[in-house]
Structures are given as C-alpha cells and as structure tokens.
Amino acid sequence: MPLSDPRIKNAKPRAKQYKLADGRGLFLLVVPTGGKYWRYKYPFEGRERQLSLGVYPDVGIKLARERHQAARTQVSSGIDPKAERVAKKAAESDTFEVVAEEWKALQLAGTKPIKPKTVAKIEWIFRDYLFPAIGKRPVANVTTPDIYTMVKNVEATGKIETTHRVMQYCKQVFAHAKRTGRVKLNPTHDLEGVLASNEPKHHPGITDPAKVGELLLAIDGYQGQPATIAALKLCAHVFVRPGELRAAEWSEFDLERAQWRLSDQRMKMDEQHIVPLSRQAVAILRELQALTGTGRYVFQNYVHIDRPMSENTVSAALRRLGYPKEEHTWHGFRTTASTRLNEMGYDSDFIELQLSHKPKDKTRDAYNRALRLAARTKMMQEWSDELDALKATARNRRQSQAA
C-alpha cells in the first residue's frame, strides 16, 4: 500500500531501523534516532543499489516520488543515477576557480621565483576577469564559445594587453586541468588568432624642437601642487616610464653621486636600471626633497602620503596645460627624448639602454651596461642642456613676438 502523510508522521522510531515501502523500490527508512530518510532501491548491471532521495519532512512525499520517478527513468535508459550523482558532484567540486588556485600554487612553488608585482598582476587578472566570468563553472563544462565570449568582452573595453593576459592564464589553467584529468581537451586551442594584435602601443610625444621648447615653458608656468610640477619637469630630463617615476622612492636616489638606481623589482624588463642625473635633475629633486624627503615616496599622494602619486596626476596636468592626449602624453616624454637624441647624433645603443629597452644582443647589452655608464652620464647632461636651450629659444621667441 502506498504511503500517506499521516502514516509517515505517525511512524515512531524503534530499537532497530525499519522500512516503510511506497512501491517500485521507493521506501522511507526510519532510524532509532527518529530520522526518516527517503531511499530508492534498484537493480543495475546485476547488482542491487540504493540512492538517497532526501530527508523527511524537508522532502515531502510528493517531491520524493518525483525524484524517484526521475531516477527510474535514468535506470530504464541505462544510466546509474547514483554513479551519475557522484560524477556530477565531482565535476562541481572541480570548478575553474578550484583548478586555477591549484595552478597558481604550482607557479609560486616553482624553482623560478615570481616577483611580487607579477603575482599581484596574476591575482588581478583572475579576480577581475576570469573568476567573475567562469570561476564557479565546473572546469569540464567550460566551452570554447564561453571563453571566446569572455575574452571578446574584455577586448571590447579597449584593454588589448589585458585581453591577451586573460587568454594566456586561461590557457595555462586548462593545460593544468588536462594534465590532471579534469578535461580531455583544452578549449582555448581553437581560439588562436581571434584577438586583436598586441602590438606595442604608440604614445604620442612632441618631437619638433620649437614645440618642445614651448612645452617646457608651459610646464614652468604651471600652477599646481609642487610634487606635480616637479614630476612634470623631471619627466623631460630622465624620460623613464610613468610608473617608474611616480613610484620613485627617496631610498633609490644618491644625489651626491647624481644617480637614480631602480631595482629589478621595479623595472618592466626585470633588470636594475641606472639613471644618471643631470645637474638640472638634481636641482629639481633637491627642491622637492625639502617637502617630501622625510617620507618614502618622492612624489607623494596628496591625500595618502604613504602612497605614491596617482597615475593620472601628470596626465591631467598636461591636459590642463592644453596638450590633448593625441598630441603629447606622460609616456610621450620618452618619445621626445628618443627622437631628438637620435637626431642629435647620439649612439642608438646609449639611447635604447637609457630607455631601458630590451636588447636583442644580450652580449652587447652586458658590455654596454658594464662599460658605458660614463658615456650615458655625459649624454644625459647634454640632453638637459639641450632642453634648457630649447626653452630659452622659446622664451626669446615669445618676447620678440610680444615686442
């Protein structure tokens, strides 16, 4: 006789567990502690098996029968519902996020140490892009179209380099999943060539000598925070990357020797970089030292002095001076210096070395770094003198026009 709610409610626990049958293998198991559990007993491939269908009263008789019918349908189709449930739980536990965390742990435990800035970049890519899109999905269920949609959404924001990193780390996580038996195929393999080219970004910079002089005059007249003015002036003289300048620390400078030594941890090329400082650069830094010299950062954040200047500060100052990003950028000071120094006849090796560009010839690079610091020091002083001359010419031109 099929079970009813009153009969189930009135079923009392006994010294030993017992069953109340509902029919076709479905029964309620009543245990001595008073618990009541739905079970489905079924034969599969010559063996008797049992499948848990829930606990009464959370799972009432109606829902238990629905689950029972679904399981019976699987059995009639040649599917073992218990084995299917175990496989599903295993797949759900192997989410992309779980596998990714395994992969990240392996990277950190590798023989080659990973720098903190690289670790931070990896964490950022996973936190902001990969995990929100596919992190909670079983890794075996993530498809090539899923990944295609994800990377194209990132690409649509214009962050091309970031898009390539998203694809790179995604590919490596799935390679780990394949090695550990979670997936049979790496779904990123069919996505070669679908992303926009990650060519080096062109940073507009003024290169006409007369216009360079006008830019320097404009900077001299800028009304703003002292640290911003100093950063604007120093950009032109040292032409390092914006991130390297804004995060400069006083501990990196030896003003007596007129050198700025950036550690490999701070450099894009992962190698120590020495910036010879001209007299003009040292003068700018000494003036600023009176204001920020007791802190860590040369260019302190206005609100949080324990942090460096915002990456937008100098860019915003250039806009206020009337230089749109299409004409000149913070990074554009490197373009200015590179173009003009080449036009002035300096050895391209010195210029590339001072720009901290990665050379193709490593032997030649080692020779340059070991033996040519004096030559670069001379070049940097002459570059600052050239900037002063261009500014003086621009000033004289203005005065002549005014007269």
What CATH number should be reported for the domain holding residue 165? 1.10.150.130
What is the reported pLDDT for 177? 92
45 shares its domain with 103: no
Residue 196 has pLDDT above 90, yes or no: no
158 shares its domain with 215: no
- Give yes or no for a contact between 391 and 216, defined as CB atoms under 8 angstroms apart: yes
Q: Which of 24, 178, 357, 372 is catalytic?
A: 357
Considering its fold, how many domains does the chain have in total?
Answer: 3
Q: Which of 94-103, 286-295, 359-368 has the lowest mean pLDDT?
A: 359-368
37 shares its domain with 77: yes
Task: Work out the pLDDT band at 370, boundaries 50, 70, 90.
Answer: very low
Distance from C-alpha of 105 to C-alpha of 55, rounded to nearest angstrom: 39
Q: In terms of C-beta density within 10 A (0-12 exposed, 13-18 middle, 19 or more buried), how is residue 403 classed?
A: exposed
Q: Please name which of 368, 385, 363 lies closest in space to residue 273, comparing C-alpha atoms.
A: 368
Q: Please name which of 379, 247, 338 lies closest in space to residue 300, comparing C-alpha atoms.
A: 247
337 shares its domain with 380: yes
- Give yes or no for a contact between 281 and 248, defined as CB atoms under 8 angstroms apart: no
Residue 25 lies in a domain: yes
Concerning whether 165 is annotated as a catalytic residue, the answer is no
Provide the token pair at 157: 């924001």
**Proportion of the chain above pLDDT 90, given as a percent:** 66
186 shares its domain with 230: no
298 shares its domain with 350: yes
- pTM score above 0.85: no
Residue 347 lies in a domain: yes
Calculate mean pLDDT across residues 150-172: 92
Neighbours of 86 (CB within 10 A): 11
- Give yes or no for a contact between 364 and 249, defined as CB atoms under 8 angstroms apart: no
118 shares its domain with 178: yes
What is the reported pLDDT for 359? 55
78 shares its domain with 103: no
* CATH number of the domain bearing residue 10: 3.30.160.390
Boundary (domain end) residue, out of 134, 163, 191: 191
**Per-residue exposure over 230-252, b if at least 16 CB sit within 10 Å of its own CB, e if not:** bbbbbbbbbbbbbbbbbbbebeb
DSSP class of residue 92? Answer: H
What is the reported pLDDT for 371? 47
Residue 367 lies in a domain: yes
Q: Which of 36, 165, 241, 376 is catalytic?
A: 241
Residue 198 lies in a domain: no
Q: C-alpha dihedral over 331, 336, 342, 347, to 10 degrees? A: -50
Q: Which of 68, 334, 340, 391 is catalytic?
A: 334
∠ Cα 9 14 15 (to 5°)? 160
Q: Which of 14, 89, 320, 367 is catalytic?
A: 367
What is the reported pLDDT for 271? 60
What is the reported pLDDT for 42? 94
Boundary (domain end) residue, out of 90, 112, 134: 90
Q: Residue with structure tokens 């679908």? A: 194
Q: Please name which of 386, 62, 19, 392 lies closest in space to residue 239, comparing C-alpha atoms.
A: 386
What is the reported pLDDT for 94? 86
Residue 349 lies in a domain: yes
Distance from C-alpha of 215 to C-alpha of 238, rounded to nearest angstrom: 16
CA-to-CA dists, residue 192 to 120, 131, 178, 186, angstroms: 26, 22, 18, 12
Concerning whether 367 is annotated as a catalytic residue, the answer is yes
What is the reported pLDDT for 363? 45
Concerning whether 360 is annotated as a catalytic residue, the answer is no
Provide the token pair at 386: 């050239």
**pLDDT tens per residue across span 40-84:** 999 998 899 999 999 999 999 999 999 999 999 999 999 999 888
234 shares its domain with 314: yes
What is the reported pLDDT for 84? 84
Residue 204 lies in a domain: no
Q: In terms of C-beta density within 10 A (0-12 exposed, 13-18 middle, 19 or more buried), how is residue 254 classed?
A: exposed
Task: Output the average pLDDT for the chain.
Answer: 88
DSSP class of residue 41? Answer: E
pLDDT higher for 31 or 369? Answer: 31
Q: Please name which of 230, 227, 222, 221 lies closest in space to residue 302, comparing C-alpha atoms.
A: 227
Q: Which of 14, 159, 268, 279 is catalytic?
A: 268
What is the reported pLDDT for 145? 94
Residue 395 has pLDDT above 50, yes or no: yes
Q: Please name which of 207, 200, 202 lies closest in space to residue 341, comparing C-alpha atoms.
A: 207
What is the reported pLDDT for 232? 94
Concerning whether 241 is annotated as a catalytic residue, the answer is yes
Tally of CA atoms within 13 A in the half-sphere of 136 that contains its CB: 2
* CATH number of the domain bearing residue 233: 1.10.443.10
**pLDDT tens per residue across span 216-272:** 999 999 998 999 999 999 999 999 988 889 989 999 999 999 999 987 666 544 467
Concerning whether 362 is annotated as a catalytic residue, the answer is no
**pLDDT tens per residue across span 293-348:** 999 999 998 888 888 998 889 999 999 999 998 999 988 999 999 999 999 998 88
Q: Which of 331, 340, 376, 391 is catalytic?
A: 331
Boundary (domain end) residue, out of 90, 113, 138: 90
DSSP helix/strand/coil, 236: helix
Which residue segment(s) compose the domain that 139 sits in?
A: 96-191
345 shares its domain with 387: yes
**pLDDT tens per residue across span 3-48:** 999 999 999 999 999 999 999 999 999 999 999 999 999 999 889 9
What is the reported pLDDT for 158? 86
Residue 200 lies in a domain: no
* Longest Cα separation, the chain: 113
150 shares its domain with 215: no
Residue 197 lies in a domain: no
Concerning whether 184 is annotated as a catalytic residue, the answer is no
33 shares its domain with 182: no
What is the reported pLDDT for 199? 62
Task: Work out the pLDDT band at 200, boundaries 50, 70, 90.
Answer: low
Paired with 50 in beta bridges are 41
